[in-house]
Amino acid sequence: MDKRRFEGRAVLVAGGSRGIGAAVVRRLAGEGAAVGIGYRTASAAAESLVAEIEAAGGQAKAVAGDIGQPGAAEAMVEAAHSAFGRLDGLVNTAGIGPYRPLVEVDESYIRAMFDTNVTGAIMLTKAAAAVLPSPGGRIVHFASRLAYSPIPTSTVYAASKAAVVALTHGFAKELGPKGITVNAVAPGVIETDMTASIIVERGEAIKAMTPLGRIGQPDDIAGIVAFLLSDDAAWITGRTILADGGFN
């Protein structure tokens, strides 16, 4: 594999300051990409990651924005495009996911979830499609294993991620004539600060139900994203890759 396969390319990673997003940022920067690190509130984490990448000789820019708010997704794409003078790929790991049982669900909870996870994804796609190279642009969204098999209390979140699967398929058809691919990754449980409580409570059970016998790591997902952004994935579009270690 070409260890500098993204040399000369620029990628925006929305939600790139922590967890899976940060692993994606490190992977892309390590392979030569200039990376826009989109974040909502974690400014210190984003700036620390920028400093880490620059110290290693790479190029990165922290870009603030809450994609669940009107105009924020477009502004984030524009900021990354302006910083690097080009934009070759979009990775959307941004999302919110608090679970609630039906009895506790209210309209504000539903709207917040869909504003970020669905509307944000749509508007990022629209803004990126206007500046990505044609042909050659790459868009990678994040769904979830829960989109296919919700668990109790996850239903609204799972529905928002099922919408991501649908929009990935649909937008791939719209952008295919421009030579822009649109794909998604649907992870199972991945070990991050956001899943710490789940792993404490159910980690051994998850391992027992996973043929590979371990909890997924952010780097497991970062490698899949890097592949989907690469030239090797030029014939893949409209697809959601289920990455859960074979969980059953």
User: Annotated catalytic sites, by residue?
Assistant: 157
Please report, for residues 2, 78, 150, the alpha-carbon distance to residue 32 in angstroms, rounded to integers and kept in the order given. Answer: 10, 21, 37
CB 246 within 8 A of CB 189: no
Which uninterrupted H or E stretch holds 38?
strand 34-39
C-alpha span between 43 and 36 (Å, rounded): 13
* Phi, psi (rounded to 5 degrees) for 146: -65, -20
C-alpha span between 94 and 212 (Å, rounded): 27
CB 153 within 8 A of CB 201: no
Residue 15 region by backbone torsions, left for phi larger than 0, else alpha for psi between -120 and 50, else beta: left
